Amino acid sequence: MAVIGQDISRAKGVLDAGELVAIPTETVYGLAGNALNPAAVASIFETKNRPSFDPLIIHVPSLGAAENYVTNIPSPLRKLAEHFWPGPLTLLLPRKSNIPDIVTSGLDRVAVRVPDHSLSLDLLAQLDYPLAAPSANPFGYISPTSPKHVNAQLGDKISYILDGGNCKVGLESTIVGMEEDEIVVYRLGGLDISEIESIVGKVTVKSHSSSNPQAPGLLESHYAPTKPFILGNLNEMVAYYQEREVDFAVLSLSQSFPAVPVGNQIALSPQADLKDAATHLFAAMRTLDESNATVILAELMPEEGLGKAINDRLKRASTKG
């Protein structure tokens, strides 16, 4: 298994050698490699078993550093960066030629963000290259929000995990770009749409893609447990599966079910706080996936605020090819 620690110098040494390190961010843990080293980036795809047509996000320590890798930052997107970086915002920007094709899957834009985590920012500040860092999990599975999640899934494939504790946001970043003069949200995430619109006005939200996505993390089937994950009316589904004596688990916003064993049900936020629910989503999905249940039953969140981003993840977790 990988060593877990807070030694930034050790992490830098591993990365400088062209190898991979798991790093903490406020959203989820990332599987990081030198974004300017095509072999290191290829190792990310190989380690995650990630399709090569699914582009990666590069992480930099500041807005100024981002300008080393993009040709320009349109004024509305610069305003967003100035307001929300460091934070759970990724900008899709025209790339410079120093960004390898493998990072962007050959597309003309690169996804860039400044993570809001002191350890990773300290690490990035010591590097003379950005880090390509998708979520540190096997492709399509639940994203990791703690070092132990990473170690359980990829600990036999990487040597070091930079321990930044549990992620405080728990949902991947919101991805924003522009098409002509229109501001487009390509992926719902940890930054609420209303916060973005308070800075730049109305935006367009584009749905995810089933193949050849324009931005990272847009494939239709994603974030999925290994067990069947069924969305619907929990009261009806609980009654249905109880009647058939099926071992099931329940993931709700705030409900509890007296007839369901305590270890087989998780309420994401007893106070029905959607920000709190987002923080706990992936850890809860993982816990129930590791339970003795044969199927996981879940409900959609209120379609407001971060509930929209949570529902995006829930719907893609329930998609079966």
The binding site for ATP consists of 50, 59, 135, 143, 187, 223
**DSSP symbol at 207:** P
Check if the beta carbon of residue 173 is closer than 8 Å to that of residue 57. Answer: yes
Q: Which tokens in the block code for residue 186?
A: 């390509």
CA-based torsion, 78, 84, 89, 90: positive or negative: positive
The three-point CA angle 60-66-68 to 5° equals 115
Which of 144, 134, 194, 142 is closest to 314 using CA atoms?
Answer: 142
Cβ 296 vs Cβ 284: under 8 Å: no
- E strands present in the chain: 3-5, 21-23, 30-34, 57-59, 89-94, 109-113, 131-132, 160-162, 174-179, 182-187, 204-205, 229-231, 248-252, 265-267, 295-298
Measured in whole angstroms, how far is the alpha carbon of residue 313 from the centre of its chain?
A: 10
SS3 annotation, 107-173: CCEEEEECCCCHHHHHHHHCCCCCEECCECCCCCECCCCCHHHHHHHHCCCCCEEECCCCCCCCCCC
Give the pairing of strands 204-205 and 57-59. unpaired
Query: Using omega within 30 degrees of 0 as the cis cutoff, is the peptide bond preceding 228 cis?
Result: no
**Cβ(190)–Cβ(45) below 8 Å:** no
Q: Which residues are annotated as a binding site for L-threonine?
A: 27, 113, 133, 173
CA distance 319 to 321: 7
- Tokens at residue 153, please? 């899934």
Annotated binding site: 27, 50, 59, 113, 133, 135, 143, 173, 187, 223
